[in-house]
Amino acid sequence: MREIQFREALREAMNEEMRRDERVFLLGEEVAEYNGAYKVSQGMLAEFGPRRVIDTPIAELGFAGIAVGAAMNGLRPICEFMTFNFSLVAIDQVINAAAKMNSMSAGQFTCPMVFRGPTGSAGQLGAQHSQNFENWYANTPGLKVVVPSNPADAKGLLKSAIRDENPVIFMESEQMYGNKGVVPEEEYLIPIGVADVVKSGSDVTLVSFGKMMLRAHAAVEELEKEGISVELIDLRTVRPIDYDTVINSVRKTNRLVILEEAWPLASISSELSFMVQKRAFDYLDAPIHRITSQDVPLPYAPTLVDAYLPSVAKVVEAVKAVSYRL
């Protein structure tokens, strides 16, 4: 197998699905002539032409509505937001149209479409361009929410998302577009809603997803030096959540730490903590710990950005806190 960048894996997924199915098309700001704001769609205009790779005005509500209407009428759009911060302008179309159309039409209409783009902090971009909305969208029945952490998962999950009959929110990190990883050359799909046990362990279960998996990996390496065996799980998707994989792990390790980038209130870690204590309370030998971003708008100063975000040190500290009886 070869190593390719995260952006290249996404591009391969879109190219393969567009060659496979002429109903699939891409629209968004700068996706065509400029080859994508992060060069994810580089070369796609040349191959598929302006009818299937479409530059839009800076009008998220408008082009999201066009995408929803296209999906209702038999096409399969990929609607790219330059950042999911801008999806707030289009959120009525996502929440009140795409997510509810199948239910409100009694199954007469479906919305097989993907809303994709970067999420979360990307350095000094300020409070309005550095937010995580995974938990917002995961709160909405009718949507599926995918947050991949590596190029191989990104490709396999995006292909599954494009083929899904439901609207899928597909969230990437612009800090990961240049990251490289091993990606199979042959055709493959990764099913939505199945977590990945990245590393087996016996002492503590550590659960994360998306960009935070990089810090989880680094924390696991530090903890292993001190003799703490961590079972690391990548959720991959946050709606639906693969509760069974997490709970089965907790029944083995008896301890749980959850790492995510979003704010703490009503987060994915809140939901996961509830379900684990509901279904595996008797197996827990320590309180569940979680690490999130600080509960404030993201500051601009680089020192404050570091203080705001989850860190490897905070993960190590949390794992040690639940491991005090080892």
Tell me the mean pLDDT in the region 210-237: 97
> 231-258 b/e with 16+ CB inside 10 Å = b?
bbbbbbbbbebbbebbbebbeebbbbbb
3-state secondary structure of 303: helix
Say whether pLDDT at 194 is over 60: yes
Cβ partners under 8 Å of residue 294, min gap 6: 307, 308
Alpha-carbon radius of gyration of the chain: 20
Over 80: is that where the pLDDT of 324 sits? no
Beta strands in 11-52 (DSSP E): 24-28
pTM, whole model, 2 decimals? 0.95
The count of other CB atoms within 10 Å of the CB of residue 72 is 19
Q: Which domains does the chain have, with CATH numbers?
A: 2-183 (3.40.50.970), 196-322 (3.40.50.920)
Residue 325: pLDDT band (50, 70, 90) is low
Query: Looking at residue 125, what is its pLDDT?
Result: 86
Least confident of 132-146, 149-163, 311-325: 311-325
Q: Which two tokens stand for residue 286?
A: 């320590």
From residue 154, alpha-carbon distances to 66, 202, 210, 322 in Å are 25, 28, 10, 32
pLDDT above 90 coverage of the chain, percent: 94
Q: Are strands 196-199 and 144-146 parallel, antiparallel or unpaired?
A: unpaired
Report d(CA 44, CA 7) in Å as an integer.
13
Eight-state DSSP code of residue 97? I
pLDDT (0 to 100) of residue 326: 52
| Burial class of 301 by CB neighbour count within 10 A (0 to 12, 13 to 18, 19+) | exposed
What's the token pair of residue 264? 């703490």
Task: State the Cα–Cα distance between residues 295 and 307, nearest whole angstrom.
Answer: 11
Q: How confident is the model at residue 123 (pLDDT cuts 50, 70, 90)?
A: confident
Cα–Cα distance between 186 and 159 in angstroms, integer?
13
In this structure, the number of other CB atoms found within 10 A of the CB of residue 226 comes to: 10
Q: How far apart are CA 288 and CA 115, in angstroms?
A: 33
The CA distance from 134 to 118, in Å, is: 11
In angstroms, the CA 173 to CA 243 distance is 24
Q: Smallest Cα–Cα separation from 70: which of 58, 89, 52? A: 52
Torsion sign across C-alpha atoms 237, 243, 248, 251: positive
Report, as residue numbers or ranges, the catalytic residues: 60, 129
Per-residue model confidence (pLDDT) at position 1: 77
Return d(Cα 8, Cα 155) in angstroms, integer. 9
pLDDT tens per residue, range 237-285: 999 999 999 999 999 999 999 999 999 999 999 999 999 999 999 999 9
pLDDT tens-digit profile of 73-102? 999 999 999 999 999 999 999 999 999 999
pLDDT digits (tens, 9 = 90+) for 14-66: 999 999 999 999 999 999 999 999 999 999 999 999 999 999 999 999 999 99
Determine contact, residues 6/154, Cβ cutoff 8 Å.
yes
